Chains A and B, each alone.
Chain A
Amino acid sequence: ELKVEQNPLFLSMQEGKNYTIYCNYSTTSDRLYWYRQDPGKSLESLFVLLSNGAVKQEGRLMASLDTKARLSTLHITAAVHDLSATYFCAVDRGSQGNLIFGKGTKLSVKP
């Protein structure tokens, strides 16, 4: 059974600091996704990671994938308040309509 675990589940950061969110999954998968959700809103796609060693960056966020370790990381550099949100990783079970999500990491960036 495919399971996806994120940690930490809650993260309070100061502006300007760096931190990493971890996403572990239990079985082989072809694709890993990172999404952002603001309170009361829908999910916004951040990254799609397809292969071992894949690294993608957008602004202060960088995601990487290690398929051998079944681990993805989302690294936050010099956090700003606008990054406050809940971040989800998700893994597909062989079909893009069939995603398993982690429980999410609620990030709060404080001045």
Chain B
Amino acid sequence: GQQLNQSPQSMFIQEGEDVSMNCTSSSIFNTWLWYKQDPGEGPVLLIALYKAGELTSNGRLTAQFGITRKDSFLNISASIPSDVGIYFCAGRTLGGATNKLIFGTGTLLAVQP
């Protein structure tokens, strides 16, 4: 199936550092969602973006919907050990009856205390 390009694939950082990851697509999306998945669990919704240019924060997390509607980024400030996990972006295309999500390939984040 179709997937978004997400980068980086993995990040190994020190506690307290800031983190940035992004997703790009060849298609235009009308919605971008960011999820975090812990091992053996389902993804948990972090931030939802609905308008081009929209910048939304959720605690230490900030995400933006790119102006071109083909990209989005997620920033995590002052990382802590519990930020460890896999982060996925997901986009929903314009139109279509099913409104299904297309997922990014994921970014594995490791935080060293």
Bound pair (A, B): no
Name A residues whose Cβ lies closer than 8 Å to a Cβ of B: none
Name B residues whose Cβ lies closer than 8 Å to a Cβ of A: none
